[in-house]
């Protein structure tokens, strides 16, 4: 009988330690990274464009649980985005190759809100919403080997919002590993022209996407205390 009581006590302590990670008053600190690569290779060789794109994002964050399973906090983000393309134009016996390289880097900061749902022991589902404002630089370069050499540089302010669902695995009381996908994202960029280049003009860029994107997953880890 004593062994049964002891076993029940051990199980209760173990279960309470799992749920205590997201109790009111607790905190977490950590971050996530994501990477994607896109390659387009046409089957033909005339009047076609080949391109390669690389996207990298790292996002440290801090959160405080204002009630059980509900946390608010702050997130930082760094984005590095590079794309290169090459187009082969053919007109009769004339063939011209035009290339374009673009680079973009930005930093942003903003609030986050996250809610956890218990699934099974050590596993939780979560949804996170975030807002951000940041600054960045971008450049567009047409190499000298192409039709015309040109370099355009921009500085911009960016505003963004996103919603990301995911799963968290708690191997210990204080550590969680996460895997998430973007579900909703909105981005608005206010581009400022390069005053040293007459071809550089100010403009605004806006993008919106909705739908679970499994091609841009994020993995991360958080320390709970």
pLDDT tens column, 126-140: 999 999 999 998 887
Kindly state the average pLDDT of the residues 28-55. 83
- pLDDT-based confidence at residue 13 (cuts at 50, 70, 90): very low
Kindly state the average pLDDT of the residues 180-191. 89
Q: Looking at residue 143, what is its pLDDT?
A: 63
The predicted model scores a pTM of: 0.73
Kindly state the average pLDDT of the residues 96-109. 85
Query: Please, which contacts does 45-50 make with residues 24 or more away whose CB atoms are closer than 8 Å?
Result: 45/88, 46/88, 46/90, 46/95, 47/87, 47/88, 47/89, 47/90, 48/87, 48/88, 49/85, 49/86, 49/87, 49/88, 50/85, 50/86
User: 2-224, what's its fold?
Assistant: Porin (2.40.160)
Q: Looking at residue 149, what is its pLDDT?
A: 56
Q: Looking at residue 46, what is its pLDDT?
A: 67
pLDDT, greater one: 150 or 218: 218
């Amino acid at each position: 009988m004593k062994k049964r009581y002891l076993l029940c006590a051990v199980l209760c302590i173990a279960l309470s330690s799992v749920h205590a990670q997201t109790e009111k008053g607790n905190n977490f600190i950590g971050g996530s990274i994501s990477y994607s690569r896109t390659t387009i290779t046409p089957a033909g060789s005339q009047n076609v464009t080949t391109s390669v794109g690389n996207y990298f994002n790292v996002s440290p964050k801090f959160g405080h649980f204002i009630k059980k399973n509900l946390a608010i906090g702050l997130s930082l983000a760094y984005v590095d985005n590079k794309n290169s393309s090459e187009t082969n134009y053919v007109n009769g016996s004339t063939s011209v190759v035009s290339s374009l390289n673009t680079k973009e880097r930005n930093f942003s900061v903003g609030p986050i809100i996250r809610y956890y749902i218990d699934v099974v022991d050590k596993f939780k589902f979560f949804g996170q919403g975030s807002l951000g404002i940041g600054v960045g630089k971008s450049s567009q370069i047409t190499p000298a080997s192409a039709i015309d050499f040109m370099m355009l540089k921009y500085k911009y302010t960016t505003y963004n919002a996103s919603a990301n669902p995911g799963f968290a695995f708690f191997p210990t009381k204080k550590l969680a590993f996460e895997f998430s996908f973007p579900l909703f994202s909105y981005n608005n960029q206010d581009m400022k022209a390069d005053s040293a280049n007459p071809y550089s003009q100010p403009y605004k860029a806006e993008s919106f996407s909705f739908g679970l994107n499994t091609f841009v997953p994020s993995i991360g880890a958080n320390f709970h205390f």
